[in-house]
Amino acid sequence: MNYLTLNDGRSMPSVGFGVFMIPSDGSTYAVVTEALKAGYRHIDTAAAYFNEEEVGRAVRDSKIPREDIFVTSKLWLQDHGYEGAKRGIARSLKKLDLGYVDLYLIHQPYGDVAGAWRAMEEARELKQILSIGVSNMTPAIWRNFVPGFATAPAVNQVEFNPFFQQKAIRCLMKSSGAATEAWFPLGHGSGDLLCNPVIARIASAHGRTPGQVILRFEIQEGAAVLPKATSPAHIRENLELFDFELTEIEMEEMRSLDTGKGAHDPDAPGVAEHLLQAFVIRD
């Protein structure tokens, strides 16, 4: 496993296991257990995934030392603001039941982000949270909020894959040393991406799958990746990324695939209102 050093000095595994849209009917517990057996040591969940409890139980039942597993969760939009964020943090800590959260993110950057950030900074001082960051921040959103933060985000988790390489926000983040973390790093399982002839040719040259080449590209670009899988074979495959390397020519070919457009536009009108109505998190 490779690790990224965050701007707060802590280390984060560069490959994590994402549990978005995996139900809390025992399915999350099962796949997280499988992922930990396969060697993952970074699990990414969120209040709005409604499966924090199963993630926490799988981590506890694994018997792997707590300090060896990096767990991320995220604050939902309804809990923005100082008091709301304190409630949201307490709720996540209770549901995970792991003593602390390694990384806690502002999931959607709308509303009273500044107040929520202050509560997260306080939770970090109390060691309830060890690192704090943001998610889905575009350059415009970053410039609106981050200059007012007392401390810079350790991470910005964004949609990132070869078709949408987030060059503008990654450039902006460099000055603070914030790390890029990729959600849906395989492009939502897009056939256009996984069957792209450039990626297929590079995969064939290395004896790898297109998915492995995509994830390897993102890691070599300096990002952490959060592939999601439910089958044991794919869970293992997405971790087998550290015994090959793309050449600089191959990296340039991959960089040339960027369209500058993703599936989700955080700057679009009405996004905040739509998301606020999408989920209600209860104690």
Predicted local confidence at residue 188, as pLDDT:
72
pLDDT digits (tens, 9 = 90+) for 58-114: 999 999 999 999 999 999 999 999 999 999 999 999 999 999 999 999 999 999 999
What mean pLDDT is predicted for residues 4-12? Answer: 98
Q: What is the CATH number of domain 3-278?
A: 3.20.20.100
pLDDT confidence of residue 23:
96
More confident residue, 283 or 210: 210
The pLDDT tens digits of the residues spanning 217-263 come to 999 999 999 999 999 999 999 999 999 999 999 999 999 999 999 99
Report whether pLDDT(265) > 80.
Answer: yes
Tokens of 187: 């492009």
Q: Name the residue ranges covered by the structural domains of the chain.
A: 3-278
Question: How confident is the model at residue 189, as a pLDDT?
Answer: 63
Q: Is the pLDDT of residue 140 over 80?
A: yes
Q: What residues are labeled active site? A: 49
Q: What percent of the chain has pLDDT over 90?
A: 95
pLDDT tier, 198 (very low <50, low <70, confident <90, very high otherwise): very high
How confident is the model at residue 214, as a pLDDT?
98
Q: What is the pLDDT of residue 191?
A: 78
Whole-model pTM: value is: 0.96
pLDDT band at 122 (very low <50, low <70, confident <90, very high): very high
Quick one: average pLDDT of 130-145?
A: 98
pLDDT at 31 over 70: yes
Whether the predicted pLDDT of 174 surpasses 80:
yes
SS3 string of the chain?
A: CCEEECCCCCEEECECEECCCCCCCCHHHHHHHHHHHHCCCEEECCHHHCCHHHHHHHHHHHCCCHHHCEEEEEECHHHCCHHHHHHHHHHHHHHHCCCCEEEEEECCCCCCHHHHHHHHHHHHHCCCEEEEEEECCCHHHHHHHHHHCCCCCCEEEEECECCECCHHHHHHHHHHCCEEEEECCCHHHCHHHHCCHHHHHHHHHHCCCHHHHHHHHHHHCCCEECCCCCCHHHHHHCCCCCCCCCCHHHHHHHHCCCCCCCCCCCCCCCHHHHHHHHCCCCC
Q: Tell me, what's the pLDDT at 283?
A: 81
